[in-house]
Amino acid sequence: MTHPGTYSDRRTGAHSRSGGRPTGDLLPVVPRRGCGGRRLLVGLFLLGLVASVLPWWTDTQAGSLAGGTAKLTAAGQISGLLAGYLLLVQVLMMSRLPVLERVAGGERIARWHRDVGATLLVAVLAHMSLILVGYAGLEGRSPLGQAGVMLRDYQDMASAFAAAGLLVLVGLTSVRAVRRALPYELWHATHLAAYAVLLLGFAHQFSNGTQLFRPGPVRTGWIAFYALVVAALLYGRVIAPLAFNLRHRLRVADVVAENPDTVSIYLTGARLDRLTMLGGQFFRWRFLTRGCWWQSHPFSVSAAANGRWLRMTVKVVGSHTRDLRDLDPGVRVWAVGPSGTFTAAHRTRERALLIAGGSGITPLRAMLEELPPGTALIYRVRTPSDVLLHRELDWLAQARGVQVWYVVGSRDDPGPRQVMSADGLRRLVPDVARRDVYLCGPPGLIEQSRQLLRRAGVPRRQIHLATFEL
Amino acid sequence: MRRALFAITGLAASTTALVVLKAGPDTSRVAQELPASATPGTEESTTAAESTAEPAEATATAVPRPSVSRSPAPGQSTASPAAGGAESSGGATKKPSVAQPSTAAPRSTVRRVFGPVVSNEFGNVQVAISLTGSRIVAAEALELPERTAQSEQRSSRVDDRYSGTAGLVVQRQSADLDTVSGATATSESYRESLQAAIDQAR
């Protein structure tokens, strides 16, 4: 199926699976995975939530909370335990532990991280204010005076206050409106302060925590959870990527222009036949060359695993992606991944409909090789020259029985308007409600399609979105 | 974001529910505590065994405070095992000591006298003293404020200074004690309960 004649063309354009490059055999259809693992994770999380408050429940005598200040202090203790637990969960979720990535997927974990983050922020603020007011009431001071006394006299409270301040900062810079106004690098640097929160907040739990300061199983368990999270962090962030990159030693093989503002980057490396990834997944790439090495960006692969090479297809939108056009062959690449549940394995039905917009075709193109025959693809582009990987798609349409529709034109043209309606969708894909739908493209198109699909009767859990943004 | 709101509301509601549940009076516990605090009287050590067990257990289950469980004093070596049981503050040691009260009965030269429960804003204080004749040979705190880690640290400082067989109470033989700095309220309550116990004993 390869066309050696077009190999020198330096364009991913041949009528073949891979633009004329040598590949392995055709891939088998990827079997579906259930959502049992995800439910297990949620169950474990809830169990941990209960377990974190349990020490308070057993320590506190019934009827001992007479009076308002005692109640406030008790609520402060509970919210403190909850906050301590949630902070560890937050860090654990960002540890990129392979098992978490596989079961829940990076995008979903990122969403959870957002929600738990907001909860954590409220829990920490509640913990601080309740304890301050409660203790102030006990000792007959004003809350502000109490804060001063705590900073001065209590062990480890100065660092705890610093941790709370940092956490509030991290929380506030993550509010969507604030975050959009900040440069990514600044936001990222602020977010790294969360590790300092973990460190600074550690001591005060054990020197002042009513449930934790006494040596015993509760204290030991709490410290063990800390150790577990740090171990997960170390494994997911350091050891696993190190092992992956030492094993595969990826390098840039070739950079090919797909159209004026899109490039495909081909990578080779060692033992790629042992690289397990699914189409639609992404890696965080770091190109080890001057000006690029300090940035890591997520791009999905645009071809399924073939044992010989990897490829990503990137649209030039910023300074970093502009630099990628000038990569020289041989440049080392540091990759972390694969991540993501935007894959054929996570579909709930046998058949699928893919909707791509512009350069959003790339993960879908990789998935097409692993989906069963009868898959439908709707490819929205503004002009014919925006169509990427055109010939590969045509080849896939034939070889794997994919129905491909190119919907060309601006949003208000009659063609696109007709297709992008509930009726239009049903005419193209009559059984759309019984398919999994994968969406990838500009946010506007994604949102429009999502509403459309809901109107066409597609259940929410059958709609998959590729979102790299939180 | 909707889920975050849901989570925050849920956690706030369940925290409130937990606090309210715990704040509700537990009838069995109250019934046990009432006689102990209502009858701060002079009792022979043997008969005291039954009622001392209660306050001792109450403090023990609330917070097992290591500082309270001192080794029995030499002056008390003749005392009944029941007194030792109450002093060691562990609920576990209570039962065997109650089971054999009669052995100590003939040599009950040591009396134990209980002061009343004195409340301050941090919690309750109750002091018990052991006397040979009219001489105080030991003092102990059956209950001290320990709701927070900070308050427990203070309580144990007061306890270390005042209580025991060589503490300030035994040295001074009165409730005229120096206030422990940084723990004024607890010191005062301690002295109040101690004074009442001394008044009863003499």
> How many Å lie between the alpha carbon of B89 and the closest alpha carbon of chain A?
16
- Which residues are CB-neighbours of A144 under 8 A, at least 6 positions away? none
Question: A63 vs B29: CB contact, 8 Å cut-off?
Answer: yes
What SS3 state is found at B130?
A: strand
Q: Is the pLDDT of residue A328 over 60?
A: yes
Letter for the amino acid at A10? Answer: R
From the list A311, A442, A457, A441, the residue with the least C-alpha distance to A377 is A441
DSSP annotation of B116: P
What SS3 state is found at B68?
A: coil
Question: A119 vs B30: CB contact, 8 Å cut-off?
Answer: no
Among the partner-chain residues B15, B22, B148, the one whose CB lies closest to the CB of A60 is: B22
Residues in A touching B30 (Cβ below 8 Å): 63
3-state secondary structure chain A: CCCHHHHHHCCCCCCCCCCCCCCCCCCCCCCCCCCHHHHHHHHHHHHHHHHHHHHHHHHCCCCCCCCHHHHHHHHHHHHHHHHHHHHHHHHHHCCCCHHHHHHCCHHHHHHHHHHHHHHHHHHHHHHHHHHHHHHHHHHCCCHHHHHHHHHHHCCCHHHHHHHHHHHHHHHHHCCHHHHHHCCHHHHHHHHHHHHHHHHHCHHHHHHHCCCCCCCCHHHHHHHHHHHHHHHHHHHHHHHHHHHHHHHHCCEEEEEEEEECCEEEEEEECCCHHHCCCCCCCEEEEEECCCCCCCCCEEEEECCCCCCCCEEEEEECCCHHHHHHCCCCCCCEEEEEEEECCCCHHHCCCCCEEEEEEHHHHHHHHHHHCCCCCCCEEEEEECCHHHCCCHHHHHHHHHHCCCEEEEEECCCCCHHHHHHCCHHHHHHHCCCHHHCEEEEECCHHHHHHHHHHHHHCCCCHHHEEECCCCC
Question: A114 vs B26: CB contact, 8 Å cut-off?
Answer: no
Tell me what the mean pLDDT of segment A210-235 comes to: 90
Among the partner-chain residues A82, A114, A210, the one whose CB lies closest to the CB of B11 is: A82
The residues on B that touch A, with CB distances below 8 Å, are 1, 3-5, 7-8, 11-12, 15-16, 18-19, 21-26, 29-30, 58, 61-64, 121-122, 147-151
What per-residue string of b and e applies to A218-234 under the rule 16 or more CB within 10 Å gives b? bbeebeebbeebbebbe
Tell me what the mean pLDDT of segment A107-119 comes to: 89
CA distance A401 to A72: 65
Tell me what the mean pLDDT of segment A342-368 comes to: 90
Question: A61 vs B18: CB contact, 8 Å cut-off?
Answer: no
Tell me what the mean pLDDT of segment B187-198 comes to: 89
Q: Is the pLDDT of residue A453 over 70?
A: yes
Q: Is residue A450 part of a domain?
A: yes
Q: Which residue has the higher pLDDT, A433 or B116?
A: A433
Backbone angles phi, psi at B99, to 5 degrees: -65, -25
Question: B1 vs A135: CB contact, 8 Å cut-off?
Answer: no
Q: Each residue of A76-109: pLDDT tens digit?
A: 999 999 999 999 999 999 998 888 888 887 778 8
Question: B18 vs A66: CB contact, 8 Å cut-off?
Answer: no
Backbone angles phi, psi at A265, to 5 degrees: -110, 120
CATH number, domain at A300?
2.40.30.10
Q: Is residue A3 part of a domain?
A: no
Residue A238's pLDDT band (cuts 50, 70, 90):
very high
pLDDT score for B176: 86
Q: Are residues A159 and A99 in the same domain?
A: yes
Interface residue A154 vs chain B (CB under 8 A): yes
CA distance B98 to B93: 9
Residues in B touching A62 (Cβ below 8 Å): 21-22, 24-26, 29
> How many Å lie between the alpha carbon of B24 and the closest alpha carbon of chain A?
5
Residues in B touching A110 (Cβ below 8 Å): none
Tell me what the mean pLDDT of segment B143-162 comes to: 83
pLDDT score for A98: 85
**Residue A278 and residue A32 in contact, taking contact as beta carbons nearer than 8 Å:** no
Q: Are residues A156 and A53 in the same domain?
A: yes
CATH number, domain at A433?
3.40.50.80
Which structural domain, as residue segments, surrounds residue A87?
Answer: 36-244
pLDDT score for A467: 63
Provide the CB-side half-sphere exposure for B140 (13 A, CA): 27
Q: Are residues A421 and A453 in the same domain?
A: yes
Structure ipTM: 0.72
Q: Is residue A7 part of a domain?
A: no
> How many Å lie between the alpha carbon of B176 and the closest alpha carbon of chain A?
24
Number of other residues whose CB lies within 10 A of the CB of residue A460:
8
Most A CBs within 10 Å: which of B5, B18, B19, as the mutation test of the A interface? B19
Please provide the average confidence, as pLDDT, over all residues in chain A. Answer: 86
- Which residues are CB-neighbours of A267 under 8 A, at least 6 positions away? A250, A251, A252, A253, A309, A310, A311, A312, A333
Q: Is the pLDDT of residue B23 over 70?
A: yes
Question: A119 vs B8: CB contact, 8 Å cut-off?
Answer: yes
Of A244, A269, A302, which one is at a domain's C-terminal end? A244
pLDDT score for B92: 39
Interface residue A50 vs chain B (CB under 8 A): no
Question: A118 vs B8: CB contact, 8 Å cut-off?
Answer: yes
CA distance A298 to A337: 9
**Residue A244 and residue A269 in contact, taking contact as beta carbons nearer than 8 Å:** no
Which of A6-15, A64-73, A115-124 is predicted least confidently?
A6-15
Tell me what the mean pLDDT of segment A218-239 comes to: 93
CB pairs under 8 A between A and B: 95
Q: Each residue of A256-291: pLDDT tens digit?
A: 988 888 999 999 999 998 888 888 888 989 999 888
Residues in A touching B69 (Cβ below 8 Å): none
Q: Are residues A451 and A372 in the same domain?
A: yes
Q: How is residue B174 written in tokens? A: 């009165």
Interface residue A124 vs chain B (CB under 8 A): no
CA distance B131 to A323: 89
How many domains, chain A?
A: 3
pLDDT score for A294: 83
Question: A75 vs B25: CB contact, 8 Å cut-off?
Answer: no
Among the partner-chain residues B3, B8, B122, the one whose CB lies closest to the CB of A122 is: B8
pLDDT score for B9: 93
Nearest residue in A to B63, CA atom: A59
pLDDT score for A53: 93
Of A292, A310, A339, which one is at a domain's C-terminal end? A339
Most B CBs within 10 Å: which of A49, A109, A119, as the mutation test of the B interface? A119
Cα A435 versus chain centre, distance: 24
pLDDT score for A22: 59
Q: Which residue has the higher pLDDT, A203 or A141?
A: A203
Q: Which residue has the higher pLDDT, B175 or B146?
A: B175
Q: Which residue has the higher pLDDT, B106 or A310?
A: A310
Q: Is the pLDDT of residue B37 over 50?
A: no
Tell me what the mean pLDDT of segment B179-185 comes to: 83
Q: Each residue of B104-117: pLDDT tens digit?
A: 444 457 788 888 88
Q: Per mean pLDDT, which of A102-116, A345-359, B91-105 is the most reliable?
A: A345-359
Q: How is residue A228 written in tokens? A: 């577990």
Among the partner-chain residues A61, A73, A119, the one whose CB lies closest to the CB of B7 is: A119
Tell me what the mean pLDDT of segment A44-54 comes to: 94
Q: How is residue A438 written in tokens? A: 């994968």
pLDDT score for A228: 95
Q: Is the pLDDT of residue A166 over 50?
A: yes
Question: B151 vs A138: CB contact, 8 Å cut-off?
Answer: yes
Residues in B touching A132 (Cβ below 8 Å): none
Q: Is residue A8 part of a domain?
A: no
- Say what percent of chain A tops pLDDT 90: 42
Interface residue A177 vs chain B (CB under 8 A): no
What SS3 state is found at B109?
A: coil
Q: Is residue A6 part of a domain?
A: no
- Which residues are CB-neighbours of A181 under 8 A, at least 6 positions away? none
Q: Is the pLDDT of residue B136 over 80?
A: yes
Q: Are residues A386 and A436 in the same domain?
A: yes
Q: Are residues A222 and A81 in the same domain?
A: yes
> How many Å lie between the alpha carbon of B97 and the closest alpha carbon of chain A?
25
Backbone angles phi, psi at A284, to 5 degrees: -95, 115
Q: Is the pLDDT of residue B87 over 80?
A: no
Pairing of strands A376-381, A403-408: parallel
Q: How far, CA to CA in Å, does A211 sit from each of A23, A450, B153?
A: 60, 48, 14
Q: Is residue A382 part of a domain?
A: yes
pLDDT score for B70: 39
Q: How far, CA to CA in Å, does A257 sit from each of A11, A26, A266, A402, B74?
A: 6, 26, 11, 25, 93
Which of A26-30, A336-340, A427-431 is predicted least confidently?
A26-30
DSSP annotation of B134: T
What per-residue string of b and e applies to A349-381 under the rule 16 or more CB within 10 Å gives b? bebbbbbbbbbbbbbbbbbbbbbbeebbbbbbb
Q: Are residues A285 and A191 in the same domain?
A: no
Tell me what the mean pLDDT of segment A111-136 comes to: 93
DSSP annotation of B164: B
Q: Are residues A73 and A175 in the same domain?
A: yes
Residue entry with tokens 């705890």: A160
Residue A137's pLDDT band (cuts 50, 70, 90):
confident
- Say what percent of chain B tops pLDDT 90: 7
Question: A53 vs B23: CB contact, 8 Å cut-off?
Answer: no
Q: Are residues A365 and A313 in the same domain?
A: no
Q: How is residue A350 written in tokens? A: 């046998």
Residue A200's pLDDT band (cuts 50, 70, 90):
very high
pLDDT score for A212: 84
Q: Is residue A116 part of a domain?
A: yes
pLDDT score for A75: 92
Backbone angles phi, psi at B190, to 5 degrees: -60, -50
Q: Is the pLDDT of residue B75 over 60?
A: no
Q: Is residue A2 part of a domain?
A: no
Most B CBs within 10 Å: which of A49, A57, A59, A61, as the mutation test of the B interface? A61
Question: B148 vs A207: CB contact, 8 Å cut-off?
Answer: no
Residues in A touching B15 (Cβ below 8 Å): 75, 78-79, 82
**Residue A274 and residue A247 in contact, taking contact as beta carbons nearer than 8 Å:** yes
CA distance B185 to B151: 11
Q: Is the pLDDT of residue B63 over 50?
A: no
Q: Are residues A79 and A226 in the same domain?
A: yes
- Which residues are CB-neighbours of A249 under 8 A, at least 6 positions away? A269, A270, A332
pLDDT score for A176: 85
User: Per the confidence metrics, is the pTM higher than 0.80?
Assistant: no
Q: Each residue of A362-420: pLDDT tens digit?
A: 999 999 988 988 899 999 999 888 889 888 999 888 888 899 999 998 888 888 888 88
Q: Which residue has the higher pLDDT, A186 or A33?
A: A186
Residue B45's pLDDT band (cuts 50, 70, 90):
very low
Q: Are residues A160 and A273 in the same domain?
A: no
Tell me what the mean pLDDT of segment A344-349 comes to: 87
Q: Are residues A221 and A104 in the same domain?
A: yes
Question: B150 vs A208: CB contact, 8 Å cut-off?
Answer: yes
Residues in B touching A55 (Cβ below 8 Å): none
Residue A139's pLDDT band (cuts 50, 70, 90):
confident
**Residue A432 and residue A426 in contact, taking contact as beta carbons nearer than 8 Å:** yes
CA distance B196 to A186: 66
Interface residue A126 vs chain B (CB under 8 A): yes
Of A307, A339, A371, which one is at a domain's C-terminal end? A339
Stretch (H or E) spanning B91: helix B91-99
